[in-house]
Amino acid sequence: MGSSEEYSREDIRNLVGVLVELYYVILSLNPIVHELTRIQAKGYEISLPLDLVRNTLLVAKLAKVLKEIWKAIYSPTRLLVEELKISNIIEGRIDVPLTSKLMGQGLQLVASRKSKLALDSIENVFLKAFLEKLRNDAEKFLYNIEGFECDDIIYEEVFKTFTKNIVEKLTIIRNSIREVNEKTFLKHVRISRSLLEDRGLKRIAWKVLERNIYPYNSIALWALEYIKTNMLVLLTKYSRNAREIGNLKLGLWDYKLYEIYSYYIVAYVTAKVFNAHLIAMWKDEILLSSREYDVKITYDKAPECKSWIAHGKYFMLNNSDVRVPAGRPDIAVHVNSVVASVCDAKYRVSAKELSESRFKVLGYMHEYDVPFGALVFDPTHVKPVLTVDSEVEENIVFLEETMKYGGVIIEDRNKTLYLVALKPKPFTELVGSKEYRILENMVKKFTIVK
């Protein structure tokens, strides 16, 4: 592997790392996730493994459930069982009918019954089964992750980064379960193999809930929640996706990840500024609702029925019918059904391409009659270029100045263009940055759109 690929992989890891962190932040706003954000490439829809992030949160909670499990171990439920003893001494309550029968056979023996508390209660059987299933699933998951490979370096790094946290937490859980099974009474509790299947575990978990004994009842709730996630099925799905994506030969498509990073930042800033109380996520849009406003933020999707180019009159010399495509900005923000802003995100582009992108955003603003537009780009990945065109040279010098200050706001009477030099960074750095304040400035002005 050459040094250039190593450099690319390191960049990808950093970009995916901050994207994963940002998605955790989005989830902290308690959105309703109907569909996962998708990327379109060569006619193929790539779904990022975002549901593994949600599973990581569940696994993190399961780690806390282990504390409840230790409570159950320290104070376990016991089952009252009666043991039959036949000997020449009395060891409990005499079973008169059986003793008489023995003596009638000429045997000088006494049948007695002795009650004792055993640990094979339904709660402890459930606990052992749940822990065994967790351990088995963790070992299978970790084994498959360790052997994961993909011919597409972007997707391989995406998958490994998205699963990094879940691997760490599952390793801790697996080791903790081993300790519980080896050092406590649970090693003496027997379970049938059927209880390690989802159906069997679900059935016994419901029985434990019906008996309602703390803390087993709360552990049973978590067991039912865990069964729903089916992490191994998810892993199989993404392994299959990896093979399909590897066959597409997409090359470097990390710029699409940067687009989603920018999309999520715009969504987060909008949710905070509008104090959204309801958030719903679909594969190519995020809906936000507040007391006064309904906001729709779309990704890689033309605003419907808003383009004068696509819906205007057109004339052909030979009277042929043509389809005029609408412009498709990376990000569009609709406030109460009115397009308020269009944004384009650029990553790994030349200074000349970046200069041209400014006019692309201005074109979107004109096409959709939008008052606010933004060009978001990573200043650390703008490639220098030599040019003989003086106009392009002037724009490149202007953009280089813009990068020094995190961006610039260009304002006229009824139009505002935002240039945002957004380097991918940890969330705590992001919210205190100039780039964040520039985007916040734009979003605050959406309320004047009519």
* pLDDT of residue 17 exceeding 70: yes
| Cβ 343 vs Cβ 374: under 8 Å | yes
* Cis amide linkage into residue 215, ω under 30° from 0: yes
CA dihedral over 260, 12, 409, 437, signed as positive or negative:
positive
For 342-376, how does the pLDDT look when each residue is reduced to its tens digit (9 = 90+)? Answer: 999 999 898 889 888 999 999 999 999 999 999 99
* pLDDT of residue 126 exceeding 90: yes
420 forms beta bridges with 376, 407
296 forms beta bridges with 287, 334
122 forms beta bridges with none
Average pLDDT over residues 316-337: 83
Average pLDDT over all residues of the chain? 86
pLDDT at 344: 97
Q: Which DSSP category does 286 fall into?
A: E
pLDDT at 312: 67
The DSSP H or E segment spanning 374 is: strand 372-377
pLDDT at 367: 92
* pLDDT of residue 311 exceeding 50: yes
* pLDDT of residue 3 exceeding 50: no
With a pLDDT cut of 90, the percent of the chain lying above it is: 42
Average pLDDT over residues 271-295: 95
**b vs e for 228-258, b when ≥16 Cβ sit within 10 Å of the residue's Cβ?**
ebebeebbeebbebbeebbebebeebbbbbb
| Cβ 340 vs Cβ 368: under 8 Å | no
Pairing between β-strand 338-346 and β-strand 331-335 as defined by DSSP bridges: antiparallel
* pLDDT of residue 2 exceeding 60: no
Average pLDDT over residues 380-403: 80
* pLDDT of residue 320 exceeding 90: no
Rounded CA separation 50/11 (Å) = 20
| Cβ 120 vs Cβ 79: under 8 Å | yes
* pLDDT of residue 32 exceeding 60: yes
Q: Which DSSP category does 370 fall into?
A: -
For 41-53, how does the pLDDT look when each residue is reduced to its tens digit (9 = 90+)? Answer: 877 888 888 888 8
Rounded CA separation 291/231 (Å) = 37
Distances (CA, A) of 13 to 152, 160, 246: 14, 9, 18
Average pLDDT over residues 182-189: 85
Rounded CA separation 94/415 (Å) = 97
409 forms beta bridges with 418
pLDDT band for position 411 (cuts 50, 70, 90): very high
Helices and strands counted in the chain (H then E):
14, 16
Rounded CA separation 343/328 (Å) = 10
pLDDT at 1: 39
Average pLDDT over residues 125-150: 89
